[in-house]
Amino acid sequence: MTTLLEPAASLAPALDALRQEAARLDPSQAIGQPRPLDDLRREWLRQPRLRTQIVAMFGACALCLTIAGLYARMSYAVVTRTREFAIRLAIGARPEDVVRALSGEVMLLVLGGLAIALILLPGVDAWVQQLVAGLPRTGFLPMAVVAGAVTAVAMLMVWGPARRAGRIAPAEALRTD
């Protein structure tokens, strides 16, 4: 049996009163070492917190891999389509048009990923609920914040390769092939 005690003043007189009452009710009953409620709470929440930290670490790793993959994909697209961009620029396209074309591709990738995430969210949310007891359900606001952050990071990742594609000198790019 566990007794939770919140004394009005100091702990020592309350513990003495508890020991006397327990001895009066059942002299064979031993009272263990008293511990603060914060220590008990920390002990009870150790496993759920560990699980939450592990899931958060996997989520952060997945986000980093997504960002790195997106950057690599865009850099690869710029390298493999150098000739195409050079021709576009040679026939009158502005560098902003090339940047806009690449940004559009990234937005399609990001929106596709977000659509898949929205489809998978209820199942993943239920799984995380089983993993971590007492966790509130994921609402629209956290999902919107994450979606906005992913979109912003994706646009930042495409900016460098897209600017590089917009700066291609058409004559130089066509001469190298």
Tell me the CA distances in angstroms from 123 to 105, 117, 119, 128, 154, one per residue in order: 28, 10, 8, 9, 25
pLDDT-derived band of residue 57, with 50, 70 and 90 as boundaries? very high
Task: Look up residue 135 and give its two tokens.
Answer: 């966790």
Residue appearing with tokens 């937005």: 107
Q: What is the pLDDT of residue 58?
A: 92
Burial of 143 (0-12, 13-18, 19+ CB in 10 A): middle
Q: What's the CA gap between 85 and 54, in Å, rounded?
A: 44
Please report, as a single letter, which amino acid is at residue 4.
Answer: L
Q: Is the pLDDT reported for residue 5 higher than 80?
A: no
Which of 172, 175, 160, 176 is closest to 77 using CA atoms? 160
Task: Note the pTM of the prediction, 2 decimals.
Answer: 0.59
Long-range (24+ apart) CB contacts under 8 A made by 76-81 are 77/102, 77/105, 77/161, 78/102, 78/161, 78/162, 78/164, 78/165, 81/165
Position 133 scores a pLDDT of 66
Q: pLDDT band for 3, please (50, 70, 90 cuts).
A: confident
Query: pLDDT tens, 10-24?
Result: 878 888 888 888 888
Asked if residue 67 has pLDDT above 70, the reply is: yes
Query: How far is Cα 19 from Cα 26, in angstroms, rounded to an integer?
Result: 10
80, pLDDT greater than 70: yes
3-state helix, strand, coil in the chain (%, to 5): 80, 0, 20
- pLDDT, one tens digit per residue, over 89-135 is 888 888 888 888 888 888 888 889 888 988 888 888 888 777 766 66
Q: Quick one: average pLDDT of 62-69?
A: 86
Contact present, 161 and 77 (Cβ < 8 Å): yes
Q: Average pLDDT, whole number, for the chain?
A: 82
Supply the pLDDT for residue 132: 67
**Burial (0-12, 13-18, 19+ Cβ within 10 Å), 74:** buried
